[in-house]
Amino acid sequence: MRKRNYSVILGNLGNTCDRFLSSGYKNQPSKAEMLKQAAAIEHVTGIELVGTWDVTVENTAEIKELLAENNLKCASIIVDHFAQKRWGRGALASPVPDIRKQAIEECVKMIDAAVTLDCDFVNLWPGQDGFDYPLATDYLEDRSNLLESIRECAKYAASKNVRLGLEFKMKEPRTHSYLARTADTLLYARESGYENVGVTIDTGHAFLAYENVGESIALLNLFGNRLFHMHFNDNHSSWDDDMIVGSVRLIEYFEMLYWLEKTGYNGWFSMDQYPYREDGAGAIRASVLFLYRLHTILDRVGMPQIEELLQRHDPVATSQFVLDNLIAN
């Protein structure tokens, strides 16, 4: 089986809290404990860290030691543009110049931290950059601010040989996000003018936007090979439920793994879910093993057989393929 790189967002192993119980349903382990849990999950070799939550300017050296102790690589740092009071009315797209400046500075800090941690990828999810009501914002101003902020971040990242991934989500915490779907996020990546800016697909965010992730992967490949990173979780399409991978979908996940292989994706397969009540390590392990099993089937079946199936354009043949290769195995 060809080797793939599986990673975990560190906070997924902790006391993930929902908006109804801010104290959460579980006890909060230490960073050291969570890293040990991650290292104990089969096939996991990488960790994603969230700025201010997991990694800061002050603790970068300590985090580097902990990663080395657990034989884990930093797969990505996610800049915290969503969980601080100052971003409440926007971060990279804020109409307030000083807030935009602070948001860019936050990104710069995490780029520097990534370099220290031997990581070449920083993820931007501008969750607070959007709007809630009609006739309540200037879309041209906000979107122009967002593009210019991305360019500033990209310029600095390029000087450090770091790539930036723009992660989209249709809604939450705002009712409308400026980076909402694959296509508009791809537009921002291309319009940035920097080759080190690409797109992160969070499968749950894509499902929420009623996207077919396989098609989204193909789209990003067709227009500049801009898929940089993948976050995996599942949901029921009406909300970002962040459930165990494969708990709702099977065929769509197999299809997306095919398209990742077809388009030459060589990035991380990173777990991003919020097991509010479930055992965190157990839920993440279930997700990793689900993807690993599908990768095993993909390698055994072989790309040519799937390519031939697609050329038939026959849903009946597809159903038989699923029965023969996914259900029976």
> Two tokens at 143?
């979107």
Task: Please determine, looking at this structure, whether the domain spanning 5-303 carries the CATH number 3.20.20.150.
Answer: yes
High-pLDDT (> 70) share of the chain, %? 99
* pLDDT above 80: residue 289: yes
* pLDDT above 90: residue 227: yes
Q: What is the pLDDT of residue 1?
A: 77
- Percent of residues in the chain assigned helix, strand, coil, to nearest 5: 45, 15, 40
Fill in the DSSP letter of residue 207: H
Closest by CA position to 195, among listed 151, 229, 233, 144: 151
Identify the helix (H) or strand (E) that includes residue 224: none
Identify the helix (H) or strand (E) that includes residue 281: helix 280-301
- In this predicted model, what pLDDT tens digit does every residue of 249-277 receive, in sequence order? 999 999 999 999 999 999 999 999 999 89
**What span, in angstroms and rounded, lies between the C-alpha atoms of 32 and 67?**
9
Over range 235-244, report the average pLDDT.
Answer: 96
The residues spanned by each domain of the chain are 5-303
Q: What is the pLDDT of residue 136?
A: 96
Q: What is the pLDDT of residue 329?
A: 55
* pLDDT above 90: residue 219: yes
| Arithmetic mean of pLDDT over the chain | 96
Identify the helix (H) or strand (E) that includes residue 255: helix 251-262
**What span, in angstroms and rounded, lies between the C-alpha atoms of 263 and 259?**
6
- In this predicted model, what pLDDT tens digit does every residue of 6-60 receive, in sequence order? 999 999 998 888 778 787 887 889 999 999 999 999 999 999 999 999 999 999 9
Closest by CA position to 70, among listed 121, 10, 27, 146: 10
Residue type, 249: R
What pTM did the predictor assign?
Answer: 0.97
> Two tokens at 219?
């789209």
**What span, in angstroms and rounded, lies between the C-alpha atoms of 179 and 163?**
18
Q: What is the pLDDT of residue 196?
A: 98
> Two tokens at 48?
């994603």
123 neighbors 81 (Cβ within 8 angstroms):
no
Q: What is the pLDDT of residue 97?
A: 98
- In this predicted model, what pLDDT tens digit does every residue of 74-111 receive, in sequence order? 999 999 999 999 999 999 999 999 999 999 999 999 99
